[in-house]
Amino acid sequence: MATIFDFSSRQVFVFGGTSGINLGIARSFARAGANVAVASRSQDKVDAAVAELVELGSDSRGYSLDVRDPEAVKTALATHSEYAAGIDILISGAAGNFPAFAKDMSANAFKSVIDIDLLGSFNVLSAALPYLVKPGASVINISAPQAYLAMPMQSHVCAAKAGVDMLTRTLALEWGPMGIRINSIAPGPIADTEGFRRLIPNEKIAEQTRRSVPLQRFGASSEIGDAAMFLCSDAAAYISGVVLPVDGGWSVAGASAAALAMAHKPQGK
Ligand code: HXC
Ligand code: NAP
């Protein structure tokens, strides 16, 4: 797959980069010449992702860790930065999601998503700061439309991703003077991903969702990779603190997207 971007010899670290959208981003950077490290909980997923990225020509390494464990995140970043001599591009995309009404969630259920998505992002970003190349490093948080569209059965994800986007904007203020840019990407419904399978469980809902996207199709992980490469490239050198929807115009639909989620399962009495 040809790309207009050149990230030769750049060091990229993708948290949650072993499947779905984040692995798509990792592949995009590897195809553009970067050396891409990935981290997630499952050692098997880490090994498979690293093997695939090496196949694409990347000098890749993998780390098995939970982003909820700040010490494990710090250790992986320190180990990797010593090997790679710093990190040029950081992607924070580890996340969890399950559809559930707030009334059916325990405090621990709500907390599990906040801990992975929001606190996990803080753990990753704060531990990476000493190793980010200054000036010049670029950081992407993977957000979701839930950050700005209220959706039933997504109170935990809506709260967590809205927090992630405010982290993006706050750190753009705090890290800008060091020459570090930080942005969020909010993917729309992306085909063949775990998030899609969890939220769009049957053909009927899939077809309704497809029609609610102005471009009338689902996205591909490679299209999120293209957006990430743009935001980390010199073409975006003056862009920091933005939340970029990459969703075929889906977020423009706003309330109708939420109505769709509502149709997924009627709220009980
Ligand atoms: C209510 C639930 C539940 C459900 C879990 N819980 N599933 N509650 N309804 N369907 C509760 C559990 O009972 C428990 O609470 C608490 O949540 C934590 O569950 P664990 O299984 O112990 O947590 P853990 O093993 O840490 O797993 C985290 C997880 C899991 C989020 C629950 O699903 C996971 O690891 N997901 C990672 C993969 C993923 O979700 N990918 C999709 C990302 S897509 P109690 O009280 O019993 O202890 C995305 C946005 C997509 O983020 C947007 C698309 C448009
Ligand atoms: P996915 O394949 O499940 O990706 C999640 C990744 O994060 C996996 O690599 C997973 O690997 C890792 N992960 C999960 N919990 C972790 C933890 N506690 N510590 C470390 N790593 C962890 O799902 P996806 O659908 O592609 O989602 C990827 C990103 O895109 C997420 O940020 C999601 O919110 C966002 N998003 C997705 C969609 C969509 O349509 N799919 C839409 C909008 C936004 P392990 O299981 O090995 O840990």
Give 230-250 pLDDT, tens digit per residue.
Answer: 999 999 999 999 999 999 999
Residue 140, classed as helix, strand or coil, is: strand
264 pLDDT exceeds 80?
no
d(CA 29, CA 51) in angstroms, rounded, equals 15
**Size (the chain), residues:** 269
Name the one residue in this structure whose structure tokens are 């959706």.
151
Name the one residue in this structure whose structure tokens are 């090994």.
47
Q: What domains are defined for the chain?
A: 11-200+219-252 (3.40.50.720)
Q: State how far the alpha carbon of 112 is from the alpha carbons of 96, 98, 109, 115, 116, in Å.
A: 8, 10, 5, 5, 6
- Pocket residues for ligand 1 (CB within 6 Å)? 95-98, 100, 104-106, 108-109, 112-113, 144, 157, 189, 194-195, 198-199
d(CA 241, CA 228) in angstroms, rounded, equals 14
d(CA 18, CA 169) in angstroms, rounded, equals 26
Q: Is 62 in the pocket of ligand 2 (CB under 6 A)?
A: no
Instruction: Give distance in angstroms: CA of 96 to centre of ligand 1.
Output: 6
pLDDT at 22: 99
Q: Structure tokens of 73? A: 């995140």
Q: State how far the alpha carbon of 157 is from the alpha carbons of 2, 98, 148, 268, in Å.
A: 35, 9, 11, 20
258 pLDDT exceeds 90?
no
Q: Structure tokens of 232? A: 């980390």
pLDDT tens-digit series, residues 117-150: 999 999 999 999 999 999 999 999 999 999 999 9
Name the one residue in this structure whose structure tokens are 């977020």.
251
254: confidence class by pLDDT, cuts 50, 70, 90: confident
Q: Is pTM, for the whole model, over 0.75?
A: yes
Helical residues (DSSP H) of 69-190, grouped into ranges: 70-84, 107-113, 120-128, 155-175
Q: Whose CA is nearest to atom 25 of ligand 2?
A: 195
